[in-house]
Amino acid sequence: MIPLQTTRLPWMTEDIAMFRDAARRFIEGELAPHCERWRKQGFVDREVWRKVGEMGMLLPELAEEWGGAGGNLAHQLVMVEELGRTEVPVSTSVHTIAAHYILDYGTDEQKRRWLPKMARGELLAGIAMTEPDAGSDLQGIRTRAVREGDGYVINGAKTFITNGATAHLLVVVVRTSAEKGGKGLSLIVLETEGLAGFRVGRILDKIGQKGSDTAELFFDDVRVPAANLLGGAEGQAFAQLMSQLPYERMLLAVLAIAVIERALELTLDYTKARKAFGQTVFDFQNTRHKLAECATTAHVMRVFVNDCIQRLLDGRLDATAAYMAKSWCSEQQCKVLDECLQFFGGYGYMSEYPIARLWADARVQKIYGGTNEIMKELIARAL
């Protein structure tokens, strides 16, 4: 696929270009060859995170004093793109979101304690938010943290937790008071190694993203120091979570465009080589027109996403635009992947073909990070 020209924005620096090239070479050479094994075992080996950290690519946006490479959010978004296009299931997205909760709301002591280890890959992070009866509606969270002396005792259960089985550190959304709605919610950080009362349940069998572990977590009288509370006071979780939404939504939008562009490359190569009825599949008018539509969608999305990245870096990306980016880009991702898969015929339904895996992996993009229905409702409120 010949890349269409887009406006060069200020965030597209020479440093970003060099980082992208280094990330692509590292991912393709050191990570991608192991994807099949990770898909079969259902998780990425913990030592892989150390390797990514050693390259300065795990949390490149953090300042050097916190163990990062002194970059900005664009470096992390580029990393997410490059991982997405190669199907590497190293979920830096969740890891970086957890890191930014600590960066923005942690004390200096908390930041010194956790961020450098997270940047080096010594601590792998997850976010324990979703519960069996509470998904997009955080007000339904039941996991309780009760203050006892100089600590908290946590009881409850979480599900659909990315990195849940392999994480060493969790940012847990808990209810610290009986107040209704989001006012009673707080964020508490847990280091899970040898933590009494903490238990990983099943690694869940998903229809896609097979190499990324998604697990059930259980907390039975788990005791943690009160010093692990983020923000210095209880009841701040809802505001803390909401303030990070523009960045979180962009992580999903960036992944969507990266996957679409890769799917188009695969489909163009296949249709130009595959013969049917005496000509290539690409020679059929329907094929050319459908792929022209997909290419147009990809181009429009790339322009939109690039602009949103610039606005994010400038501090101008409002929540509504971020909701639009998440919902629209994930919708288009699923539509384009479905169109592309169709041209592969039966081969497109075989998991050994990348297009099949990309198609299955895409479906959850409309669910996690806040369902698209919730995103549209939030957009409508701003109209």
| Local confidence band at 47 (pLDDT 50, 70, 90 cut-offs) | very high
Per-residue pLDDT at 113 exceeds 80: yes
Per-residue pLDDT at 139 exceeds 90: no
Average pLDDT for residues 2-22, to the nearest whole number?
86
Residues 159/131, Cβ–Cβ less than 8 Å: yes
Average pLDDT for residues 333-341, to the nearest whole number?
98
Task: Report pTM.
Answer: 0.95
Per-residue pLDDT at 180 exceeds 90: no
For residue 81, the SS3 value is helix
pLDDT at position 5:
65
Per-residue pLDDT at 93 exceeds 60: yes
Average pLDDT for residues 195-218, to the nearest whole number?
97
Q: Which of 247, 241, 256, 209 is nearest to 130 (CA)?
A: 241
Residues 158/131, Cβ–Cβ less than 8 Å: yes
CA-to-CA distance for 229 and 171, rounded, in angstroms? 10
Catalytic option among 61, 87, 216, 248:
248
pLDDT at position 14:
95
All structural domains of the chain: 14-123 (1.10.540.10), 126-235 (2.40.110.10), 244-381 (1.20.140.10)
Per-residue pLDDT at 3 exceeds 80: no
> Is 28 an annotated catalytic residue?
no
pLDDT at position 178:
83
Per-residue pLDDT at 182 exceeds 90: no
Per-residue pLDDT at 2 exceeds 70: no
Which residue bears the tokens 């181009």?
A: 299
Q: Which of 259, 260, 166 is nearest to 211 (CA)?
A: 166
- Give 10: exposed, middle or buried? Use CB within 10 Å, 0-12, 13-18, 19+: exposed
C-alpha pair distances (Å), 131 with each of 61, 157, 241: 30, 6, 16
Average pLDDT for residues 345-365, to the nearest whole number?
97
